[in-house]
Chains A and B, each alone.
Chain A
């Protein structure tokens, strides 16, 4: 089973994502702040990361940048999720190497479809 790491300080959102992804036969690991997310990413080597931007301790941009500049982790697809939608934020997301950019509110089914697409 493919491993998905969900990093978001909004527990409710993590919960709903976990629910639909598990229903689609993925194993989910959850972190509720940036530091835990980064540690968990290195520990479990997930197949894909769903990453929120605005988080306490380390924000999503930084985590993405740290992982994408490390040869060991750079091939892990990162789906960046945020409530921000300013164009400049999108640019920062791309610069950090995130593979996909999803704006809240999103369709859960769309997220599942995207995850499946990356892990085909």
Chain B
């Protein structure tokens, strides 16, 4: 901060006149012995230096006739470079050597007004220069601080590691404020609270104890009357020292230092607090800067806390998902063994090898066998799904003709269809290109779709399986699915299973592919489904880079479509 000397009435302008001629001294004495001037007249060289050293004058008037002039000029310029030097020149010609030291020249016979105005003009000029230089210095300081703040901010935004953020805050304060010691109580550096002492010099044990006590007191006063986020104890508080110059040691008392203190918190989240010490006083700018850094670090610390929570929650979810898959896998395996025994016993009984079976016994044995097969199907579905979800399903991709798959499924299921009074017809496009697929898995998908169609279609109706080659832009996907299915550009083999069954309401279409979908729960139970067939089909097709969807109208029937790209799998990956 700069003060204009002319603003202060009480400030005396100090003038030194150097001359060994009494009349000259008297002349200046009469001029300056009034107003706000304080004049001294000296001629002894040594005394002059003493005075200049002890109480630097604002103006020095030097008589050029003094015999030690040359030496004096140099010395005075060294001792007080900012003082205004005016030469009193009796000769009309000015010595060139003097020009480099001079702010102005007086000659004999000059008026009092001229002398005073010359001095005032010079003083004003000097004052303005000083102000300018001070402003420049302030500006440079601000710029440096701004730079430090900027680089600290970018460090803050570059990490989600809480311990690093606290460290960046300390380093940022180190850059922006010149201090002797920062004392940071951090709840983010390690699992336990720690006290980080960032110091210029080595700290004595007594000083560390005092700082620990101070941190605990500061911390407790922050939460006065409130519940503390964590208990801390000065005896057990862990200390981390970061010493810049370990060879030196603080010898003086902490209480002679100026200090500032700030909590590092955002809303209800408390991350720590920081206290900073300096031998000289902190300026208001220092305080603003300190507060800014302490506040700035709180937001990334909060983000880091949330990020950590998300990571932990995700890990927990992933673990649960894995446990679920493992559980399903183990349970399914364990179920298969007793199921095998039941099935084998039924097989033997039904084969008549243990004696003849009456008609009603056969009815109940068949019922038991049907349910064994159903249970077996459920276990297989569960195992498939857990394998797919765990990414453990292996596919034997090979060139496959979809029409072969369709023929196989039709042959396998036409008996079942016939027993329900249904007809399966086929509408295949001849000479379809091969697709890269696992034929067995496609059979599984198609069997599921056709079985569903058989289950949900009343007597005397027809189920149609069709296949054709289409380009992705000619594939129409209805509104229920179009946001969820994105087919890459290219050719696809499109298969459709069309039935004249009960249909699905539009609002339920998408849910048909959810795990354990409960559309018309009672009906699906009557028809004997697990609710896993379609989700499995969806996952299997996605593994083929294909998609499955359906069009349906209640009481009219459904059309289930699936599309598989004709490009090779490795070309798609």
Interface residue ranges, A against B (CB under 8 Å) = 10, 12-13, 16-17, 19-20, 23, 83-87, 104-109
- Which residue from chain A places its CB closest to the CB of B393 in the assembled complex? A87
Asked if residues B333 and A108 are in contact (CB atoms below 8 Å), the reply is no
Q: Which residues of B contact A105 (CB under 8 A)?
A: 336, 339-340, 343-344, 372, 376
For the complex, is B288 an interface residue (Cβ under 8 Å from A)?
no
For the complex, is B133 an interface residue (Cβ under 8 Å from A)?
no
Q: Per-residue 0/1 for B342-361: is the Cβ within 8 Å of any A Cβ (1 yes, 0 no)?
A: 01110110000100000000
Q: Which residues of B contact A107 (CB under 8 A)?
A: 347
For the complex, is B262 an interface residue (Cβ under 8 Å from A)?
no
- Using known A-B contacts A104-B337, A105-B376, determine if residue A17 contacts B344 with beta carbons closer than 8 Å: yes
B157 nearest CB across to chain A (Å): 46
7 contacts between A and B (CB under 8 A): A13-B341, A13-B344, A20-B348, A104-B339, A105-B344, A105-B372, A105-B376
Distance of A53 Cα from B49 Cα, bound (Å): 109
In the complex, which of the residues B333, B334, B340, B345 contacts A106, with contact meaning CB atoms closer than 8 Å? Answer: B340
A79 nearest CB across to chain B (Å): 14
Q: Which residues of B contact A87 (CB under 8 A)?
A: 392, 394
A12-B344, A20-B348, A87-B394 given. 14 additional CB < 8 A pairs? Answer: A10-B341, A13-B341, A16-B341, A16-B345, A19-B348, A19-B353, A83-B336, A84-B333, A85-B383, A104-B339, A104-B340, A105-B336, A105-B344, A109-B347
In the complex, which of the residues B337, B339, B348, B383 contacts A16, with contact meaning CB atoms closer than 8 Å? Answer: B348
A51 nearest CB across to chain B (Å): 15
- Using known A-B contacts A20-B348, A84-B333, A108-B347, determine if residue A13 contacts B394 with beta carbons closer than 8 Å: no
Q: Per-residue 0/1 for B300-343: is the Cβ within 8 Å of any A Cβ (1 yes, 0 no)?
A: 00000000000000000000000000000000011011111101
- Using known A-B contacts A19-B348, A20-B348, A23-B353, determine if residue A83 contacts B341 with beta carbons closer than 8 Å: no
Chain B stretch 372-430: residues in CB contact (< 8 A) with chain A = 372, 376, 383, 387, 392, 394
Asked if residues B336 and A104 are in contact (CB atoms below 8 Å), the reply is yes
Q: Per-residue 0/1 for B214-228: is the Cβ within 8 Å of any A Cβ (1 yes, 0 no)?
A: 000000000000000
Chain B stretch 56-95: residues in CB contact (< 8 A) with chain A = none
Asked if residues B333 and A83 are in contact (CB atoms below 8 Å), the reply is yes
Q: Which secondary structure characterizes the binding site on chain B?
A: helix
Distance of A85 Cα from B344 Cα, bound (Å): 19
- Which residue from chain B places its CB closest to the CB of A106 in the assembled complex? B340
Q: Which residues of A contact B343 (CB under 8 A)?
A: 105
Q: Which residues of B contact A108 (CB under 8 A)?
A: 344, 347-348
Asked if residues A16 and B336 are in contact (CB atoms below 8 Å), the reply is no
Q: Which residues of A contact B344 (CB under 8 A)?
A: 12-13, 16-17, 105, 108
In the complex, which of the residues A17, A20, A86 contacts B392, with contact meaning CB atoms closer than 8 Å? Answer: A86
Q: Which residues of B contact A104 (CB under 8 A)?
A: 336-337, 339-340
- Which residue from chain A places its CB closest to the CB of B335 in the assembled complex? A83
B512 nearest CB across to chain A (Å): 27
B385 nearest CB across to chain A (Å): 14
A9 nearest CB across to chain B (Å): 9
Q: Which residues of A contact B345 (CB under 8 A)?
A: 12, 16
Distance of A12 Cα from B342 Cα, bound (Å): 9
A104 nearest CB across to chain B (Å): 4
Distance of A89 Cα from B334 Cα, bound (Å): 16
In the complex, which of the residues B333, B337, B353, B376 contacts A13, with contact meaning CB atoms closer than 8 Å? Answer: B337
A13 nearest CB across to chain B (Å): 6
Distance of A101 Cα from B334 Cα, bound (Å): 18
A17 nearest CB across to chain B (Å): 7
Q: Which residues of B contact A12 (CB under 8 A)?
A: 338, 341, 344-345
- Which residue from chain A places its CB closest to the CB of B354 in the assembled complex? A19
A105 nearest CB across to chain B (Å): 4
Distance of A108 Cα from B337 Cα, bound (Å): 14
- Which residue from chain B places its CB closest to the CB of A9 in the assembled complex? B337
Q: Which residues of B contact A13 (CB under 8 A)?
A: 337, 340-341, 344
Q: Which residues of B contact A84 (CB under 8 A)?
A: 333
- Which residue from chain A places its CB closest to the CB of B387 in the assembled complex? A86
Q: Which residues of A contact B336 (CB under 8 A)?
A: 83, 104-105
Distance of A83 Cα from B334 Cα, bound (Å): 8
B543 nearest CB across to chain A (Å): 14
